[in-house]
């Protein structure tokens, strides 16, 4: 995945090894809670010690101008609180544990580290503690580590190191310690801001949904690929598509509850990723649904076989809500008409207006009641890009075969390129990682408690931003257009 070399570095003519140096915190690893001070707030909440966060910050300020470590800080905390350092040993251990619980890798920067490079940190934690955090983040490079209180900030570390090694480049996040100071000693330095919340993540944090912002940030930092297309689809998933469908899942669950529908039929192929996310969100909301992957396509609905009609009769009961991410509803309406069903609820993230070409063939049947999460009249939404973000790695369903109680999907031949399939699988990996992180680390109570109007507004904002990602057409456009033309030809001439 990485374009960077990981072999041992070269040497200069005088025998000094040529290496890269790296800051650690907010360069190679980050905290899930974003800011270090949030660690102190978590300690306060978990320990029940009133005003601990402010006392912890003050204690560090009091000792930072002299040699110090975590023990020194906690001795000062004890003095400020009027207790003994030993009495605070459980809290000190709690701080280390919470640091471990919060640590996440910054893969894009870790990919630049070679075996034999050097890590530098101005930090109150000791080497053993920092190495344990790197280990928790999955860091596996064999590198040196120098820890000081202010070696980078005050600048004395740079000539000391340069006397023994040649620093090719230093990478760090602090504009003074990691950029200005090494450059004073003619050391090339590169500023990284990757750990800072992106504009989308920052919006979530500022509107009172910090957990969603932190989740999107972690998803972004935990993924990386040197291939530009693969990295592009990763970022779109992390900051746009995944949070969009997380929010849409809340809207869908509430709609299904209001309609009193318990069988949720997620239409293939676009809803493949949505189904497991919806299952997790509905569980968080305390709602129970039977979520089913519905093998379907425009082709199967317009020209259904005997088995496909039986499949539809079995699935689409009075308890069913049919779900898709977008569409006109034309093909599902005619399929339901063939089944002699009426008023079947069909919910889409984006219900599209009727398509003239389809309507000229046969008007949309009056067999459905359509619902749309986002405003159907918005003109800045691109349903094509939305579909591209939610491609499945399986091909179009052309039929099903019923064998006793088993349903066997019949799929079309794969025509997409290997690169397109790589991008699709990359998208799925990021989306599935988001579900995993959600299950393990985020309660998202701030999002689950939002009113429906706020949920819809956020969905529309993310969908609008996603609709600007025209680069997706460069990746998927050719095959998308080819398949769309072929499907339309088959349907309109059926």
pLDDT in tens, the chain (494 residues): 444 555 556 777 777 889 999 999 999 999 999 988 899 999 999 999 999 999 999 999 999 999 999 999 999 999 999 999 999 999 999 999 999 999 999 999 999 999 999 999 999 999 999 999 999 999 999 999 999 999 999 999 999 999 999 999 999 999 999 999 999 999 999 999 999 999 999 999 999 999 999 999 999 999 999 999 999 999 999 999 999 999 999 999 999 999 999 999 999 999 999 999 999 999 999 999 999 999 999 999 999 999 999 999 999 999 999 999 999 999 999 999 999 999 999 999 999 999 998 899 899 999 999 999 999 889 999 999 999 999 999 999 999 999 988 999 999 999 999 999 999 999 999 999 999 999 999 999 999 999 999 999 999 999 999 999 999 999 999 999 989 888 888 887 75
User: Could you tell me if 218 and 199 are in contact, meaning their C-beta atoms sit under 8 angstroms apart?
Assistant: no
**Can you give the length of the chain in residues?**
494
User: What is the model's pLDDT at position 13?
Assistant: 75
What is the pLDDT at residue 494?
Answer: 57
CB atoms within 10 A of CB 422: 17
Cα–Cα distance measured from residue 163 to residue 339, given in angstroms and rounded to the nearest whole number: 82
- Other beta carbons within 10 angstroms of residue 199's beta carbon come to 8
Q: Is 392 helix (H, G, I), strand (E, B) or coil?
A: coil
* Chain-centre distance for alpha carbon 300: 33
Helices and strands counted in the chain (H then E): 23, 14
Strands 29-31 and 103-105, by their bridges, are antiparallel
- How far apart are the C-alpha atoms of 361 and 72, rounded to whole Å? 79
CA atoms within 13 A on the CB side of 383: 19
Sign of the CA dihedral 281, 284, 285, 291? positive
pLDDT of residue 4: 53
Q: Which of 266, 332, 258 is nearest to 298 (CA)?
A: 332
Sole residue written with tokens 């339901």: 336
CA geometry: angle at 100 spanning 97 and 103, to 5°?
150
Q: Do the bridges between strand 344-351 and strand 29-31 make them parallel or antiparallel, or are there none, so unpaired?
A: unpaired
Position 2 scores a pLDDT of: 44
Q: What is the predicted pLDDT for the residue at 5?
A: 52
């Amino acid at each position: 995945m990485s374009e960077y070399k990981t072999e041992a570095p070269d040497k200069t003519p005088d025998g000094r090894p040529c290496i890269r140096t790296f800051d650690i915190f907010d360069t190679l690893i980050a905290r899930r809670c974003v800011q270090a001070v949030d660690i102190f707030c978590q300690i306060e909440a978990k320990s029940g010690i009133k005003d601990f966060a402010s006392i912890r910050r003050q204690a560090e300020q009091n000792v930072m101008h002299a040699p110090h470590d975590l023990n020194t800080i906690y001795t000062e905390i004890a003095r400020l609180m009027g207790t003994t350092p030993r009495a605070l040993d459980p809290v000190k251990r709690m701080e280390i544990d919470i640091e471990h619980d919060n640590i996440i890798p910054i893969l894009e920067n870790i990919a630049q580290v070679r075996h034999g490079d050097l890590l530098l940190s101005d930090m109150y934690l000791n080497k053993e503690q920092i190495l344990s955090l790197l280990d928790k983040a999955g860091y596996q490079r064999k590198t040196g580590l120098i820890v000081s209180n202010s070696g980078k900030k005050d600048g004395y570390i740079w000539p000391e190191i340069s006397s023994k090694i040649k620093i090719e480049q230093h990478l760090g996040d602090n504009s003074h310690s990691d950029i200005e100071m090494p450059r004073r000693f003619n050391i090339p330095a590169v500023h990284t801001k990757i750990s800072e919340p992106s504009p989308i993540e920052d919006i979530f944090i500022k509107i009172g949904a910090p957990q969603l912002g932190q989740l999107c940030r972690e998803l972004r930092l935990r993924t990386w690929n040197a291939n530009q297309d693969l990295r592009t689809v990763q970022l779109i998933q992390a900051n746009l598509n995944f949070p969009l469908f997380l929010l849409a899942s809340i809207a869908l669950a509430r709609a299904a509850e209001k309609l009193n529908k318990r069988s949720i039929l997620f239409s293939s192929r676009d809803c493949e990723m949505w189904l497991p996310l919806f299952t997790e969100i509905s569980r968080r909301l305390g709602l129970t649904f039977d979520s089913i992957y519905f093998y379907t396509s425009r082709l199967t609905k317009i020209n259904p076989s005997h088995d496909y009609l039986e499949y539809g009769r079995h699935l689409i009961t009075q308890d069913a809500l049919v779900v898709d991410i977008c569409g006109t509803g034309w093909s599902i309406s005619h399929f339901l008409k063939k089944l002699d069903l009426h008023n079947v609820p069909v919910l889409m993230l984006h219900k599209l207006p009727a398509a003239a070409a389809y309507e000229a063939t046969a008007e949309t049947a009056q067999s459905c009641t359509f619902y749309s999460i986002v405003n159907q009249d918005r003109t800045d939404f691109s349903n094509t890009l939305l579909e591209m973000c939610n491609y499945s790695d399986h091909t179009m369903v052309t039929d099903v075969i019923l064998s006793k109680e088993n349903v066997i999907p019949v799929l079309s031949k794969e025509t997409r390129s290997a690169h397109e399939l790589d991008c699709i699988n990359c998208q799925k990996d990021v989306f599935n990682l988001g579900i995993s992180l959600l299950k393990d680390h985020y309660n998202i109570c701030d999002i689950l408690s939002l009113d429906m109007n706020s949920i819809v507004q956020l969905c529309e904002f993310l969908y609008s931003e996603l609709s600007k990602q025209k680069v997706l057409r460069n990746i998927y456009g050719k095959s998308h257009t080819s398949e769309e033309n072929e499907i339309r030809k088959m349907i309109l001439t059926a």
